[in-house]
Chain A
Amino acid sequence: TLAGRPVWRKRFLTYRINSYTPDMKPADVDYAIQKAFQVWSDVTPLKFRKIHSGEADIMIGFASGAHGDFNPFDGRGGIIAHAFGPGPGIGGDTHFDEAETWTANYRGTNLFLVAVHELGHSLGLGHSSDPKAIMFPTYSYVDPNTFRLSSDDVRGIQSLYGGPERRQPPSHPDSTESATCNPILSLDAATTVGNKIIFFKDRYFGWRNPESPKSNISLISSFWPNLPSGIQAAYEIGDRNQVFFFKDDKYWVISNLRPQRLYPKNVRSLGFPNFVEKIDAAVFNPLLYKTYFFVGSQYWRYDERRQLMDPGYPKFITKAFPGIGPKIDAVYYNNRHYYFFQGSVVSEYDVLSHRVTKRLKHDIKLGC
């Protein structure tokens, strides 16, 4: 933390980008800065709002040489950015040296990574001597898609502001009107991860043990900042410790809970034809070592050993899975059964006898 431990005394902070670099599209600058704020808001109770005029708590801009704060930039290389600790006026403000070449990728200087660092100062963090920390004073590139704060960064910021707010339980837990405890009428996606069942809805994911109705909810971005909201399908290959996530025509892989480089990839790389624009649901069958992909009323089967789509697909779901379909929202595999979600109904399906063995209303809720 900075000398004197300055902090913001409020949780809702505003920011404004008052100048842009010509190196990047303004929309890319906006996105990098927004994602950098999100890195910190995910681990604290702080919330950030962008404003477009007037004085924000955190004013952000690009400047060259002397720029009016008695800390002139030094041209290309050397000092690439600086920020002021929490406080009124210039406090919290963040400046990027225009002499650098700012990018959204690995070339030049990655704006997102530097912004995460500088906004750490804006919130009251000093430099870390841990080279793994984003608050280490020298720049080094890491893949923004797999970037995570180090434990030193998290300990530092949480020593100033505490952890993220937990969603408050509703005052009337039985009330269906409560906005914080609504049953989910339809899931986006579901999968196992280790011994947990994970399900996705909008910006949230929940997890629970197969035997327990009790579930926990968290923001997708707080655990996997590289994943988008609205995950549409997911599946796990347990013995590889890999989980696949799908949204639209892209997919991501996490391995041992860590995002993997070189993702997202296009689903065409799995062998889907061009007309497939999104995957509704997916499930891995460890007995066959094959993955079923459900798209509309049809499904494909992918051989995970050969890394090829099986020939003869797509087929109709209703023909191959009696009692299931025609469309499904989500599915996961557990203990020789598939669990298909269609609306508020979950069907337990025996993979050996190929029949539905149980059908009931699921009771997954958000914010409980």
Chain B
Amino acid sequence: VPLTNSTGSEENDVLFAERYLETFYGFVMDGVPVTKMKVSPNLMKNKLQEMQQFLGLKVTGRLDASTLDMMHMPRCGVPDVHEFR
């Protein structure tokens, strides 16, 4: 169990989640009016919900521990919900 959650690791988690959602759920950062670390909350929430629903997780729309755990599991590089390139 982590002793503390530093701000730095939370930032890393969000960055990691963004990359994950971009790769596998067609989450497009381009065009989203953001400064880094301030992604449009609704868009990110929608994509998290999409991912949680697909993978049978509790659909919270939040980057909770079980969602992060799932994102960190070794997996196939084919997008789950994406036009196949």
Contact = CB atoms under 8 A, between A and B. Distances in A.
Most chain A CB neighbours (cut-off 10 Å) among B23, B76, B84: B76
Contact of B76 (A6, A70, A77, A118): A118
Interface string B14-28: 000000000110000
Contacts of B72: 77
A138 B73 CA distance: 6
B77 A139 contact: no
Given A129-B55, A129-B56, A131-B56, A137 B83 contact: no
B43 interface: no
B38 interface: no
A78 B78 CA distance: 12
Interface size class of B (residues with CB under 8 A): 10 to 19
A127 B84 contact: no
B56 A79 contact: no
B14 to A, nearest CB: 17
B81 to A, nearest CB: 8
Interface string B22-36: 011000000000000
B36 to A, nearest CB: 20
A138 B24 CA distance: 12
A35 B65 CA distance: 36
B75 A139 contact: yes
Contact of A139 (B24, B74, B82, B85): B74
A139 B73 contact: yes
Contacts of B80: 126-127, 137
Given A129-B54, A129-B55, A129-B56, A137 B76 contact: yes
14 contacts: A3-B82, A71-B85, A77-B72, A79-B75, A79-B77, A80-B75, A82-B76, A83-B76, A126-B80, A129-B53, A129-B54, A129-B56, A138-B55, A138-B76
Interface of B: 23-24, 53-56, 70, 72-78, 80, 82-85
- Per CB-CB distance, the 5 closest pairs between chain A and chain B, nearest first, are A82-B77, A79-B77, A138-B73, A138-B75, A139-B74
